[in-house]
Amino acid sequence: MSDAVKGPASYFPSIEAKYGRPIAEWKALIRAQTGLKHMELVAWLKSEHNMGHGHANALVADTLREMKNEG
Compute φ and ψ for 45, nearest 5 degrees. Answer: -60, -40
Q: Cβ(16)–Cβ(53) under 8 Å? A: no
Q: Cβ(27)–Cβ(59) under 8 Å? A: yes
**Banded pLDDT at 3 (limits 50, 70, 90):** low
pLDDT digits (tens, 9 = 90+) for 8-22: 889 999 999 999 999
Whether residue 28 is predicted with pLDDT greater than 70 in this model: the reply is: yes
**pLDDT value of position 20:** 95
**Banded pLDDT at 26 (limits 50, 70, 90):** very high
pLDDT digits (tens, 9 = 90+) for 52-64: 999 999 999 999 9
Q: Cβ(49)–Cβ(20) under 8 Å? A: no
Helical packing angle, 53-70 and 38-49, nearest 10°: 130
